[in-house]
Copies of this chain bind each other. A is one copy, B any other.
């Protein structure tokens, strides 16, 4: 059980770091760092818990919020040392995506017993914090980036439900889900992996219409 908790805290911490990095790009003050770190770190899990009608995890255990605040302070002190803050943000987001796809699927499956729900809560948990971060920071949503993103979360969450259905112990199922989501999203970051994107008819006037 402590490995599960460690994965959960790790996901919160790395997403919080991406929120703090977004705050640094917007040149917010220290309270802005903490706020954006907290919203990003706990936003996805908050939405998951609301939808599943579970108590919100950080209301049960406020230590998650203190982790976000601590991470924000560390990033405030160290962001200037990074070569490319946006690149670091994308890799931390990748780790958080993989951790939350696994945890979100596990919580969704435990609460509902439905694989469909588990895959959705995995995707929601993995992406909603980053969506909030981008909305609040006024940046283009990471969802609209050309390389694979949502698909990695979906594959990780699906892997968890398959592993669980196959009778694997939870720890192995979580590890498999994390590994698959991380490898897919990491490969997308390293090699630009993408699925075919929708292409309108040749010669079409994209985005026109009334």
Contacts and interface: CB of A to CB of B under 8 A. Distances in A.
Contact of A27 (B66, B112, B140, B197): B197
A106 interface: no
Interface residues of A, number: 68
Given A27-B206, A31-B151, A86-B208, 4 more contacts: A50-B50, A62-B114, A66-B116, A90-B210
A117 B64 CA distance: 11
Interface of A: 23-33, 35, 38, 46, 50-53, 55-56, 58-59, 62, 65-66, 76, 79-80, 84-87, 89-90, 112, 114, 116-117, 120, 123, 127, 131, 135-138, 140-141, 143-144, 148, 150-151, 154, 194-201, 204, 206-210
Nearest to A81: B201
A35 to B, nearest CB: 5
22 contacts: A26-B144, A28-B197, A29-B197, A29-B198, A31-B154, A31-B195, A32-B143, A38-B120, A50-B50, A50-B51, A58-B117, A59-B117, A62-B114, A79-B198, A86-B208, A86-B210, A87-B209, A87-B210, A131-B136, A136-B141, A137-B144, A138-B141
